[in-house]
Amino acid sequence: MNKVPYVERGYDDSGLTGECAYLWALFLANEADMEDDTFGYSKWKSTAEQLAPADGKPMPAVVHYAELEDAIARYTKDA
């Protein structure tokens, strides 16, 4: 298990910040890769690529991904 990323919400507390969502997508892709879950790896890697910072493309301020929120809840419920 990798180090679990932080959870940071937007100003209205309704979604994750873009950077937080990106870090969680990378974390979940790595976790799926270590578990040999090819579907999970592809899903989270694709999400991370959509959120990745790039030249001329700003990082989203807030994102809303229900599956990402569910996955975060599974990892943070014990914390």
Q: Name the β-bridge partners of 62.
A: 17
The tens digit of pLDDT for each residue in 14-34 reads: 899 999 999 999 999 999 999
pLDDT value of residue 71: 94
Distance CA 10, CA 17 (A): 5
The tokens for 70 are 């569910």
Residue 35's domain spans which residues?
Answer: 24-76
Contact in structure between 78 and 56 (CB atoms under 8 Å): no
39 located within any domain? yes
The tens digit of pLDDT for each residue in 34-67 reads: 999 999 999 999 999 999 988 888 888 899 999 9
40 located within any domain? yes
Number of separate domains in the chain: 1
pLDDT value of residue 79: 52
At 76, is the pLDDT very low, low, confident or very high (cuts 50, 70, 90)?
confident
17 located within any domain? no
With a cut of 70, say whether residue 8 has pLDDT above it: yes
- Note the pTM of the prediction, 2 decimals: 0.88
Single-letter amino acid code for the residue at 8: E
49 located within any domain? yes
